[in-house]
Chains A and B, each alone.
Chain A
Amino acid sequence: MIIYLMKRLGLAAIVVMAVLLLLFSMLHMIPGNPAILALGTRATPEAIAEYTARMHLDEPVLTQFVYFLGSALQGDLGQDVFSNRAVVDIIGERIGFSLALICTGMGWAVLLGVPLGCLAAVRPGSWVDRVTGVFSVGMIAVPSFLVSIWALLLFSLELRWLPAIGAGEPGDFADQLSHLVLPAFAIGLGWVGYLARMVRASMLEVMGEPYIRSARAFGLTPRRVVLGYALRVAILPTITLIGMGFGGLISSAVFAEIIFARPGVGKMIFDAVSDRNFPIVQGGVLVATGFYILVVLMSDLLIAWLDPRVRSSL
Chain B
Amino acid sequence: MKDMDTHMTDETLLNIDALSLEFRTNRGQVKALRDISFPVKKGRILGIVGESGSGKSTVLWSILGLLAGNAKVTAGRVDYGDRDLLTLDAEALRALRGEEVSVVFQDPMTSQIPVLPYARQMSDILYRRAMSEADKRAAAVDMLRRVGIPDPESRVDAYPHQFSGGMRQRAGIAMSMLTGPNLLLADEPTTALDVTMEAQMIGLMRGLRDDFDTTIVVVSHNLGLIAEMCDDVVVMYAGEVVETGEVHDIFHNARHPYTRALLECDPARIADVSRKLPVIPGDIPDLTKPLAGCIFASRCQKAMPACATKAPPLVERGTGVARCHLLEGPLADASWPPPASVSTVARDDGAAAPLPANAGEPLLEVRDLNVQFRTMGALKARIRGVARPFVDAVLDVSLDIRPGETLALVGESGSGKTTLGRTILNLQAAAGGSVRFDGTEIGNMAERRFKPLRRDMAMMFQDPTGSLSPRKSVRALITEPLLIHGAEGRDLDAEAERLADMVRLPRGFLSRYPHELSGGQARRVGVARALALNPRLIVADEPTAGLDVSVQGEILNLMADLQAEHGLSYLIITHNLPVVRHIADRIAIMYLGRIVEDGPAAEVFANPAHPYTRALVEGVPQPDPDRRRPPSAAIEGEVPSLLRRPKGCDFATRCPLARDACRPAKPEHRHITPDRRHACLFPLTDTQDNKNKTETP
A binding-site residues for B, Cβ under 8 Å? 3, 7, 209-221, 224, 228-229, 232-233, 306-309, 312
- Asked whether A218 and B125 contact (CB < 8 A) given A210-B107, A308-B115, the answer is yes
Instruction: State which residues 104-148 of B face A: CB under 8 Å.
Output: 105-107, 110-117, 124-125, 127-128
| Bound Cα distance A90, B113 (Å) | 50
Find out whether the CB atom of A219 lies under 8 angstroms from the CB atom of B95: yes
Find out whether the CB atom of A218 lies under 8 angstroms from the CB atom of B175: yes
Q: Is B103 an interface residue (CB 8 A)?
A: yes
Q: How far is the CB of A240 from chain B (nearest CB, A)?
A: 15
Q: Which A residues touch B175, using CB under 8 A?
A: 218
Which of the residues B102, B113, B380 comes within 8 Å of A215, measured between beta carbons?
B113
- Asked whether A308 and B159 contact (CB < 8 A) given A217-B64, A220-B98, the answer is yes
Q: Which A residues touch B111, using CB under 8 A?
A: 210-211, 213-214
Q: Which A residues touch B107, using CB under 8 A?
A: 210
Of chain B, the residue at the smallest CB distance from A236 is: B115
Find out whether the CB atom of B105 lies under 8 angstroms from the CB atom of A309: no
Size bin of chain B's contact surface: 20 to 34
| Bound Cα distance A265, B379 (Å) | 39
Q: Is B94 an interface residue (CB 8 A)?
A: yes
Find out whether the CB atom of B115 lies under 8 angstroms from the CB atom of A218: no
With A3-B383, A211-B113 given, name 7 new contacts (CB 8 A): A210-B107, A214-B103, A219-B94, A219-B125, A221-B94, A308-B114, A308-B162
- Asked whether A218 and B98 contact (CB < 8 A) given A3-B380, A3-B383, the answer is yes
| Bound Cα distance A132, B263 (Å) | 54
Q: Which A residues touch B112, using CB under 8 A?
A: 211, 214
Mask: chain B, 86-107; 1 = CB below 8 Å from A; 0 = not: 0000000011111100110111
Complex A-B, nearest 5 residue pairs according to Cβ-Cβ distance, in ascending order: A219-B97, A219-B98, A218-B98, A210-B111, A308-B159
Q: Which B residues touch A229, using CB under 8 A?
A: 113, 116
B binding-site residues for A, Cβ under 8 Å? 64, 66, 94-99, 102-103, 105-107, 110-117, 124-125, 127-128, 159, 161-162, 175-176, 379-380, 383
- Asked whether A217 and B110 contact (CB < 8 A) given A3-B380, A228-B124, A312-B162, the answer is no
Interface-centre pick from A216, A218, A229, A306 (highest chain B CB count, 10 A): A218
Find out whether the CB atom of A220 lies under 8 angstroms from the CB atom of B124: yes
Find out whether the CB atom of A233 lies under 8 angstroms from the CB atom of B113: yes
| Bound Cα distance A221, B99 (Å) | 13
Find out whether the CB atom of A233 lies under 8 angstroms from the CB atom of B114: yes
Interface-centre pick from A217, A308, A312 (highest chain B CB count, 10 A): A217
- Asked whether A213 and B98 contact (CB < 8 A) given A218-B175, A232-B115, A308-B159, the answer is no
| Bound Cα distance A221, B128 (Å) | 10
- Asked whether A219 and B383 contact (CB < 8 A) given A211-B111, A233-B114, A308-B161, the answer is no
Find out whether the CB atom of A217 lies under 8 angstroms from the CB atom of B379: no
Q: Which B residues touch A3, using CB under 8 A?
A: 379-380, 383
Find out whether the CB atom of B66 lies under 8 angstroms from the CB atom of A213: yes
Q: How far is the CB of A214 from chain B (nearest CB, A)?
A: 5
Of chain A, the residue at the smallest CB distance from B97 is: A219
Q: Which A residues touch B116, using CB under 8 A?
A: 229, 232
29 A-B interface contacts by CB (under 8 A)? A3-B379, A3-B383, A7-B379, A210-B110, A211-B111, A211-B113, A213-B66, A213-B111, A214-B105, A215-B124, A217-B66, A217-B97, A217-B98, A217-B103, A217-B105, A218-B124, A218-B176, A219-B95, A219-B125, A220-B98, A224-B127, A232-B115, A233-B113, A233-B115, A307-B114, A308-B161, A309-B115, A309-B161, A312-B159
Q: Which A residues touch B103, using CB under 8 A?
A: 214, 217-218
Q: Which B residues touch A221, using CB under 8 A?
A: 94, 127
Of chain A, the residue at the smallest CB distance from B379 is: A3
| Bound Cα distance A153, B159 (Å) | 54
Which of the residues B66, B159, B379 comes within 8 Å of A216, measured between beta carbons?
B66
Find out whether the CB atom of A309 lies under 8 angstroms from the CB atom of B383: no
Q: Which A residues touch B379, using CB under 8 A?
A: 3, 7
Q: How far is the CB of A246 from chain B (nearest CB, A)?
A: 24
- Asked whether A312 and B161 contact (CB < 8 A) given A218-B125, A219-B95, the answer is yes
Q: How far is the CB of A233 from chain B (nearest CB, A)?
A: 6
Which of the residues B105, B115, B117, B128 comes within 8 Å of A210, measured between beta carbons?
B105
| Bound Cα distance A109, B95 (Å) | 37
Q: How far is the CB of B378 from chain A (nearest CB, A)?
A: 12
Of chain B, the residue at the smallest CB distance from A214 is: B111
Find out whether the CB atom of A218 lies under 8 angstroms from the CB atom of B114: no
Interface-centre pick from A210, A214, A307, A312 (highest chain B CB count, 10 A): A214
Of chain A, the residue at the smallest CB distance from B175 is: A218
Of chain B, the residue at the smallest CB distance from A206 is: B113
Of chain A, the residue at the smallest CB distance from B93 is: A219
| Bound Cα distance A232, B114 (Å) | 10
Find out whether the CB atom of A224 lies under 8 angstroms from the CB atom of B124: yes
| Bound Cα distance A217, B60 (Å) | 11
Q: How far is the CB of B664 from chain A (nearest CB, A)?
A: 33
Q: How far is the CB of A239 from chain B (nearest CB, A)?
A: 13
- Asked whether A219 and B162 contact (CB < 8 A) given A3-B383, A232-B116, the answer is no
Q: How far is the CB of A171 from chain B (nearest CB, A)?
A: 44
Q: How far is the CB of A301 from chain B (nearest CB, A)?
A: 16
Find out whether the CB atom of B110 lies under 8 angstroms from the CB atom of A209: yes
Which of the residues A213, A219, A220, A307 comes within 8 Å of B115, measured between beta carbons?
A307
Which of the residues A7, A215, A217, A309 comes within 8 Å of B114, measured between beta carbons?
A309
Q: How far is the CB of B268 from chain A (nearest CB, A)?
A: 28
Q: How far is the CB of A14 from chain B (nearest CB, A)?
A: 15
Q: Which B residues touch A217, using CB under 8 A?
A: 64, 66, 97-98, 102-103, 105
Q: Which A residues touch B383, using CB under 8 A?
A: 3
| Bound Cα distance A22, B357 (Å) | 72
Which of the residues B106, B114, B127, B161 comes within 8 Å of A211, measured between beta carbons?
B114
